[in-house]
């Protein structure tokens, strides 16, 4: 068993990293393999969109007070 495996999987192929464990757990839960990555990408995109609008607001605020 790989030391990097956190889920205790003892079959083959052995888990090489945490992502193998996550995907294995997803299959056990009946989810589509790799769904975590899609969710993660969505979350990242949402956060980036929120951050962008905050930065834009700051830029508008600062440009209004500059002159």
Q: Which of residues 20-59 bind Zn ion (CB under 5 A)?
A: 21
Q: Contacting Zn ion (CB under 5 A), which of 5, 26, 35, 36?
A: 5
- For residues 19, 10, 14, 44, the Cα torsion angle rounded to the nearest 10 degrees is 0
Q: Contacting Zn ion (CB under 5 A), which of 1, 3, 7, 10?
A: 7
Nearest distance from C-beta of residue 4 to Zn ion, angstroms? 8
Write down the H helix ranges in the chain: 18-28, 35-66
Number of residues counted as binding Zn ion (CB under 5 A): 5
- Per CB under 5 A, residues contacting Zn ion are 5, 7, 9, 15, 21
């Amino acid at each position: 068993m790989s030391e990097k495996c956190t889920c205790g999987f003892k079959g083959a192929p052995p888990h090489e990293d945490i992502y193998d464990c996550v995907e294995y757990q997803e299959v056990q839960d009946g989810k589509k393999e790799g769904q975590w990555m899609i969710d993660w990408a969505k979350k990242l995109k949402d956060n980036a969109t929120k951050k962008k609008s905050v930065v834009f607001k700051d830029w508008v605020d600062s440009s209004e007070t500059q002159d």
